[in-house]
Amino acid sequence: MALAAVIWVLTIAICYVFFGHYWWFPPPISQHGQDYDAQFNATLWVTGIIFFLAQFALGWVIFTYRDRGRPARYTHGNNMLEALWTTATALLFIGLMLTGSRIWAAVHFDGPPPDSMRIEVLSKQFAWSFRYAGPDGKFGRTDIKLINDQGGNPFGIDDKDPAGKDDITSASIKVPAGKPILLILKSRDVIHNFFVRELRLKQDLVPGMEIPFPFTADQTGTYEVACSELCGLGHHQMRTTLEVMTEADFNKWKLEQAAQK
Amino acid sequence: MSSSIVHAAHQAPTGFIRRYIFSLDHKVIGIQYYFLALFSVFLGMGLSVLMRYHMVYPDAKVSWFEKLWPTGAAGGIMTPELYLSLMTMHGTIMVFFVLTTAPQSGFGNYFLPIQIGAEDMAFPVLNMLSFWTTFLALCVMVAAFFVPGGAPLAGWTVYPPLSAVGPLAGPGEGLGQSLWIISIAIFSGASLMGAINFIATTIDLRAKGMTMMRLPLTCWAWLVTAILGLLGFAVLLAAGILLLLDRMAETSFFIPAGLVVSDQILNHKGGSPLLWQHLFWFFGHPEVYIAILPGMGVASQLLSTFARKPVFGYRAMVYAILSIGFLGFFVWGHHMFMSGMSPYSAMAFATLTMAIGVPSAIKTFNWIGTLWGGRIRFTSAMMFAMGFVSLFVTGGISGIFLGQPALDLYFHDTYFVVGHFHMIMGVAAIFGMFAGTFYWFPKVTGRLMNETLGKIHFYLTFIGVYCIFTPMHWLGIAGNPRRYADFTNFDFMGKLMPVHTFMTWAAIITASAQLIFLFNLFWSMKKGAVATDNPWDATTLEWGIPSPPPFDNFAGHHPVVNHGPYEYGVPGGAKDYLMQSDPP
C-alpha cells in the first residue's frame, strides 16, 4: 500500500519539475529552433499524459487490489481491449514521428538555399577550426602534409593555390544573423560532434566524410559549441563559440581577419 | 532416445571439482553465472560511484585513488582519462557481465530446464564451456585495468577511429583497448554457445504436454533472448575481429585515408568509421532487449503469482515478446541519426523504432491488467516486480522523444539518453533480477530471504534510482553532453551543478543500500526461515519438486503438463491455483 503512495508522490514530483521548467532549454535563436520546441512540447504533452495515467493506474491497482480477503477475478484477458490499446498506441507513436519528420526534412532533405554562405568546419582532438572563403568565394586546395597548427594552418591550406590565398581561418565561428549558412563538416582524427544548444542542432564530424549541414541563426549573441561525441581525454574541454553578428559587424570582422593575413 | 542412456551420462558426480567447479549441472552453472554477475555488478557500481564523485568534485584529492591508479590519479586527483576509462569499464562490465549474464545465463540456466520439465540443458558440456569462457572473458577485461596505459577510454561502444589507431589517440588505447576487444570476442563466443543451448533445450526437451502456448512467459523470454543473442553476438564477434585487425595487422576496415592523429599522418586507406557503428548497433540494439526481455518474463510471472490471477492476455504477451525480438533487428539505426549516415534511412529506422514501442506498451497494459481485480500479496519479490513496471514505463516514455530523429537533433549524446537507457535497460532490468532472486531463492537454497530487509532494500533502491536517473532527463533538456569528465569548461553547465551534486549523493546512498541486499542474500542462505517446496503457492513445474531440487530435477520422474502456466484464482477448488502438472 505504501508502494502506491510512493509511486504517486514520485509521479507528481517528476511532472512538477518537468512542467516547472527548472532546468530547461535556452531560448531558440532560429525558426528551426521554434519548430523544434513546438514538436518537443507536443511530445511532452502526449508522453506526459501517458506517463501520469500509467503510473497513476499502477498505483491505483496496487492500492485497490491489495489482498483484502476477496477472491481474485479469474480472467485470461480481453481481446477487445488488446486491439484497442494496440491501435491507439500505434497511431499515437507513429503520428508523433510523422509530425516531427517535417523538421528533420527541413534540416536534411530540403537542401540549402543557393545563396548560403559556406563555412568549413574542421575538428581535431581537442579543438575546432573554421574556414571562410575570401572575396573570390572559393576555398583553396589543402594537403594534410602542410598541416601546421602552431603556424596557424590547421587545414593545411596550400599557399601555391591562388584560391587559398584569401581564405580566412578562425578558432571560433562567426555568422551574420538571418543569412543561410552551409557548414561543411570534416574531422582530422576521430569522430567529434558539433552541437549548439540554441540552434537545437547537432551533427557528427566523421573522418573521411564531408557532411553538409545547413542552418540559419536569427538572434545575435554568443553561444557555446560543445563537442558531443566522445573524442578522447580532452572531450570535456572541446569548446568554442558561435557568434551571431549583424551583417555589418560580420563584414567588418572578415575585413579585419583578411588584413591580418 | 532411451532414457537409460540419458541417465548413464547424467549421474551426479561425487568429486568436489566436478560437482562445484567444472560442473555439467545446469543448476550449478546457473549459480556460477549468478555469482559472476554479482561480483561484476558491485565492481561496475563501484566504478560509477567514483565517476559521479569526480564529476562533482573534480579537484578533490583522495589518497587511495593514487594507491589504486598511481598514474591515472597522481597526487590523488583523478585525471579525465582515468574518468573515461572508469566510464568505459562501467558500461562494458554492466552491459556484458551483468545485464547479459545474470537474467539469461544465470536465472535461465537454472530455471529454464526445470520449468519445461527437462533434466538438464540439451548440451551440458557446452553449457560448462560457455560459463568458463565467460569467466575467462571477465578476467581479460579486468586485466585491462592493470596494463601500461590502463583501461581503454573509448566508451563501451568503442567507436573507431578513436578505438582503432592505438595509443596515439589517448592513454588506454594501447594494450588496454586490445584486451577489451579480445575479452568481448571471447564473451561473444561464450554467448553463442549459451544461445544455441537455450534454443535447443526449449525446442527439444519440453515435457509431455508442455506445448509452446503453455510455456511460462519466463521461458518465452529466455527463448527469444537466446535467438537475439545468436544473431547479435555473431555479428559483434566478426566486428571485433575486424577492429582487432585494424589495430594489429594494419588493415583498414574502419579507418579512412588522410588521418592526422596527434600530428602524425597515418597510412590507412579506405575504411569507414560508420561501418563499425552499423555492425556494433546491429548487435547493440538487440542487446538492449537481451537485457530487458528476461526481466519482462520474470515480471509477468511474478505479477500473476502474487496477484493470484492469470496473466492478462497471455497470447498478446507472447506475440509482444516475439514482435519485440523481430523488430529489434531493424531499429539499430536510431543510434546513428547524428552519425552522418543517409538522413533518408533515419525515417525508416524511426518508423520501426516507434513501431517497437507498441508491443512494449501492450506489455505494460497487460501487466496493469493482470494486477486489476487481483488479490495482491506484498512480498519483496512482488514489490520488485511492481517496481519494474513503474521503471519500465518511465524508461520507455523517454524513448518516444529519442526515437524521433527531429528531437534527437538536440538530445543525441546528452544526459537525456543516459537517463533513458539507465532507467530501462539498467535499473528496470536489475529490478527484474532482484525480483527473480527473492522469488527463486527458496527453491535454490530451501530457505526464504528476510522480508523486512527485503522491503527496506526495495524502498531505498526504488526511490534512490528515481533520484539518480530522473534528473538526468532535466540535464539533457538543458543540453548537458554525456561522457564529460567535468563541467568546468562551459558556462552553461555551471547552473546544472546542483543537479549533478544531488545525483551524486543519491548514487552514493543508493549504492550503499545494496549492502543490505548482499547481507540478506548471504545471511538467508545460512539463517533464513526454512521454506516449503512451494512457498508462494505457484503453478510452474519448479514448485512441484523439492527445494533445493535433486540432481536431475525430477528424480527420474517425467512430469506431464496438463495446464497453462498461470492458473491462479481458479474458482471452486480447495486451493486457488492449478499447478501445471496437476491432473486435468
In whole angstroms, give the CA distance from residue B276 to residue A195.
Answer: 23
Q: What is the pLDDT of residue B12?
A: 79
pLDDT at B159 over 60: yes
Q: What is the pLDDT of residue A239?
A: 98
Residue B278 neighbours by CB under 8 Å, 6+ apart: B332, B333, B336, B341
Q: Which residues of A touch B69 (CB under 8 A)?
A: none
Q: What is the pLDDT of residue B425?
A: 93
In whole angstroms, give the CA distance from residue B482 to residue A48.
Answer: 24
- Identify residue B243 by its one-letter amino acid code: L
Residue of B nearest to A35 (CA): B406
Least trusted range by pLDDT, from B123-132, B193-202, B533-542, B568-577: B568-577
Q: Report chain A's mean pLDDT, rounded to a whole number.
A: 95
Q: Which residues of B touch A75 (CB under 8 A)?
A: 309-310, 312, 373
In terms of Cβ atoms closer than 10 Å to its own Cβ (0-12, 13-18, 19+), residue A107 is buried
Could you report the per-residue pLDDT of B193-228, keeping only the tens digit for each?
Answer: 999 999 999 999 999 999 999 999 999 999 999 999
Q: What is the pLDDT of residue B20?
A: 87
Greatest CA span in chain B, whole angstroms?
81
Q: How close A203 gets to chain B, by Cα (Å)?
A: 5
Which of B400, B415, B427, B491 to mutate to probe the A interface, most A CBs <10 Å?
B400
- Among partner residues B169, B313, B492, which is closest to A224 by beta-carbon distance? B492
Percent of chain B beyond pLDDT 90? 95
pLDDT: which is higher, B324 or A70: B324
- Among partner residues A24, A102, A230, which is closest to B155 by beta-carbon distance? A230
**CA separation, residue A89 to residues A227, B235, B408 (Å):** 36, 32, 21
Q: How close B186 gets to chain A, by Cα (Å)?
A: 26
Beta strands in B210-318 (DSSP E): 260-261, 264-265
In whole angstroms, give the CA distance from residue A46 to residue A100.
Answer: 13
pLDDT range class, residue B10, cuts 50, 70, 90: low
Cβ atoms of A206 and A194 within 8 Å: the answer is: no
Tally Cβ neighbours within 10 Å of residue B584. 7
Residue A20 neighbours by CB under 8 Å, 6+ apart: none
Residue of A nearest to B152 (CA): A232
Residue B274 neighbours by CB under 8 Å, 6+ apart: A206, A209, B336, B339, B340, B341
Q: Where are the alpha helices (DSSP H) in B104-174?
A: 109-116, 124-143
For CATH 2.60.40.420, the residue range(s) in chain A are 117-260
Q: What is the pLDDT of residue A92?
A: 92
All domains in chain B, ordered by first residue:
7-578 (1.20.210.10)
Q: How close B253 gets to chain A, by Cα (Å)?
A: 13
Q: Which residues of B touch A51 (CB under 8 A)?
A: 393-394, 397
CB atoms B484 and A236 under 8 Å = yes
Q: Which residues of A touch B481 (CB under 8 A)?
A: 195, 226-228
Which of A9, A50, A58, A81 to mutate to probe the B interface, most B CBs <10 Å?
A58
Q: What is the pLDDT of residue B1?
A: 37
- CA torsion sign, B349 to B353 to B354 to B358? positive
Could you report the per-residue pLDDT of A98-129, keeping only the tens digit for each?
Answer: 999 999 999 999 999 999 999 999 999 999 99
Q: How close B281 gets to chain A, by Cα (Å)?
A: 16
Could you report the per-residue pLDDT of A219-232, keeping only the tens digit for each?
Answer: 999 999 999 999 99
Percent of chain A beyond pLDDT 90? 92
Q: Mean per-residue pLDDT for A82-103?
A: 92
CATH of domain A117-260: 2.60.40.420
Q: Report chain B's mean pLDDT, rounded to a whole number.
A: 95
Q: What is the pLDDT of residue B350?
A: 96
CB atoms A239 and B489 under 8 Å = yes
Q: What is the pLDDT of residue B3?
A: 42
How many pairs of residues across A and B have Cβ atoms under 8 Å apart? 330
pLDDT at B6 over 60: no
Could you report the per-residue pLDDT of B338-388, keeping only the tens digit for each?
Answer: 999 999 999 999 999 999 999 999 999 999 999 999 999 999 999 999 999
Whether the complex's predicted ipTM is more than 0.90 is answered with yes
Q: Which residue has the cell 529490478?
A: B431
CB atoms B256 and A208 under 8 Å = yes
pLDDT at B306 over 60: yes
Cβ atoms of A110 and A116 within 8 Å: the answer is: no
pLDDT: which is higher, A151 or B367: B367
Q: Mean per-residue pLDDT for B387-404?
A: 97
Read off the C-alpha cell for B353.
Answer: 523504432
Q: Which residues of B touch A214 (CB under 8 A)?
A: none
CB atoms B478 and A57 under 8 Å = no
In whole angstroms, give the CA distance from residue A78 to residue A73.
Answer: 13
Q: How close B176 gets to chain A, by Cα (Å)?
A: 14
Could you report the per-residue pLDDT of B225-259, keeping only the tens digit for each?
Answer: 999 999 999 999 999 999 999 999 999 999 999 99
pLDDT at B9 over 80: no
pLDDT range class, residue B327, cuts 50, 70, 90: very high
Q: Mean per-residue pLDDT for A11-19?
A: 95
Residue of A nearest to B80 (CA): A233
Q: Mean per-residue pLDDT for B270-280?
A: 97
Q: What is the pLDDT of residue B125?
A: 96
Q: What is the pLDDT of residue A69?
A: 87
- CA torsion sign, B152 to B132 to B47 to B496? positive
Q: How close A138 gets to chain B, by Cα (Å)?
A: 22
Q: Where are the alpha helices (DSSP H) in B446-553?
A: 451-477, 491-494, 497-527
pTM for the structure as a whole: 0.96
